[in-house]
Amino acid sequence: MKKHLITALLMTIATTILLGVLYPLLITVVAQVVFKDKANGQLVTRNGEVVGSRIIAQPFTSAKYFHPRPSAAGNGYDAANSGGTNLGPTNQKLIDRIQADAKTLHEENPSQPVPVDLITTSASGLSGNYSGRR
């Protein structure tokens, strides 16, 4: 019994080090060397300053841009703070936000149906831009 317990403990330590430390470090190094731009979020820079990402939506305020899908990440489109809202389908706060967004979109385009993806957030909160125009 004691021999099996020691073997199990040693295997736990070995696999934790191998799969929890060494493997993630190896993958990070390979990604940084081979796919540096992609591994760092495909950041867009202008005049040496990061202004956004090619793969994560940003909030746009001008009518000439596409509507971004609503974001549940941090303070809106915050790639460092991704995650859904965890609001259930019967949550009044979620229902109110969706109804307000749908009303605004319907007022902008009264002859068009409002796509569900344009009023709901993704599970990660970091969706790309939706192709509907403002």
Q: Read off the pLDDT of residues 95-110 as tens digits, 9 standing for 90 and up.
A: 998 999 899 888 888 8
Task: Please give the share of the chain, as a percent, with pLDDT higher than 90.
Answer: 33
Measured between alpha carbons, how far is 85 from 75 in angstroms, rounded to an integer? 12
Bridge partners (DSSP) listed for residue 44: 52
Question: pTM for the full model?
Answer: 0.52
Is residue 24 domain-shared with residue 72, that is, in the same domain?
A: no
d(CA 22, CA 88): 38
Residues 79, 29 share a domain: no
How long a stretch of residues is the chain? 134
- Section 103-120 average pLDDT: 87
Specify the amino acid at residue 10.
Answer: L
Nearest to 38 by CA among 54, 22, 59: 54
Average pLDDT, the chain: 81
Q: Does 87 lie in the same domain as 125?
A: yes
Residue with tokens 């703070």: 81
Q: Please say if the pLDDT value at position 2 is more than 50.
A: yes
Selected residue with higher pLDDT from 114 and 60:
114
Domain presence at residue 105:
yes
- The domain total for the chain is 2
What domain range includes position 18?
Answer: 2-38
